[in-house]
């Protein structure tokens, strides 16, 4: 028995203004999320990116080729109803931020950590008023309350659509500092990925690369780059 697949049924996807933002129309009819909620985008730029994905579909609809549509669906159906919970979850990454956990050795690795990560912690202290403290080893020690409060304030300012991007910027790097740095234009997502992979790069140098691990990493990097682009489209009028 063959699996049923959705077929393209429209001739053209267009963008139109709507209450609360912009809608993507398929031959004049508005697109809905899988849960049947109206797919309303906050900016024309994001709506045009979604419309382009629908226009690019051929005979069968391929959801994996529609990352902006999928992220928009998540923003409406998953992030919007639980925005406070998502912010709280991401704040937890600040309390266990990757950039704060340094190796005990060898000296070459500890030096890489310091050279790569200390400037980002300095940026968080200056730009966000959040001075996080690095630790040696993997044992958890809570970060200063003032720093956590500052990072919480930064998260509370983020609306549901960009918060969807922030979720991936943080969880894919393991660092709230890196996620906020990308969002605020301090570094690119590509730089954030490199900074988040200091330990993995070291291991590859010592033992060689694993093909499956490299493939998985490439997928995550692509997702991170998409999150950066999705974030930018949320503010590009």
User: How many domains does the chain divide into?
Assistant: 2
- pLDDT band of residue 6 (cuts 50, 70, 90) is confident
Stronger pLDDT, 209 or 75, i.e. the higher one: 75
Do 129 and 54 share a domain, yes or no?
Answer: no
Residue 119 inside a domain? The answer is yes
The angle subtended at Cα 170 by Cα 143 and Cα 130, nearest 5°, is 35
pLDDT of residue 4: 42
Tell me which residue range forms the domain holding 19.
1-65
Would you say residue 189 has pLDDT above 80? yes
- pLDDT band of residue 2 (cuts 50, 70, 90) is very low
**pTM of the shown model:** 0.94
Q: How far apart, in whole angstroms, are the C-alpha atoms of residue 7 and residue 20?
A: 30
* Spatial contact of 67 and 226, defined as CB atoms under 8 Å apart: yes
CATH of the domain at 30: 3.30.2180.10
Q: How far apart, in whole angstroms, are the C-alpha atoms of residue 37 and residue 147?
A: 38
pLDDT digits (tens, 9 = 90+) for 139-188: 888 999 999 999 999 999 999 999 999 999 999 999 999 999 999 999 99
pLDDT of residue 5: 61
Do 146 and 205 share a domain, yes or no?
Answer: yes
- Helix (H) / strand (E) element for 215: namely helix 211-233
pLDDT digits (tens, 9 = 90+) for 10-66: 899 999 999 999 999 999 999 999 999 999 999 999 999 999 999 999 889 898 999
- Domain boundary (13, 33, 65) is at 65
């Amino acid at each position: 028995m063959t699996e049923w697949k959705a077929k393209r049924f429209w001739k053209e996807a267009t963008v139109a203004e709507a209450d609360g933002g912009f809608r993507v129309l398929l031959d004049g009819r508005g697109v809905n999320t899988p849960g049947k909620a109206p797919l309303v985008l906050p900016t024309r730029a994001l709506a045009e990116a979604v419309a382009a994905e629908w226009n690019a579909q051929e005979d069968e609809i391929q959801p994996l080729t529609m990352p902006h549509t999928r992220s928009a669906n998540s923003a409406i159906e998953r992030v919007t109803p639980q925005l406070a919970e998502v912010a709280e979850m991401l704040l937890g990454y600040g309390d266990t931020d990757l950039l704060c956990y340094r190796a005990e050795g060898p000296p070459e690795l500890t030096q890489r950590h310091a050279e790569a990560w200390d400037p980002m912690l300095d940026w968080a202290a200056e730009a966000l008023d959040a001075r996080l403290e690095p630790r040696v080893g993997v044992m958890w020690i809570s970060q200063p309350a003032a720093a956590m409060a500052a990072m919480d304030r930064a998260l509370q300012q983020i609306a549901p659509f960009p918060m969807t991007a922030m979720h991936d910027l943080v969880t894919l790097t393991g660092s709230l500092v890196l996620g906020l740095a990308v969002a605020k234009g301090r570094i690119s997502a590509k730089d954030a990925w490199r900074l988040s992979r200091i330990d993995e790069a070291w291991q590859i140098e010592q033992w060689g690369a694993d093909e499956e691990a490299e493939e998985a990493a490439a997928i995550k990097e692509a997702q991170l780059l998409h999150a950066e682009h999705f974030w930018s489209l949320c503010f590009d009028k």
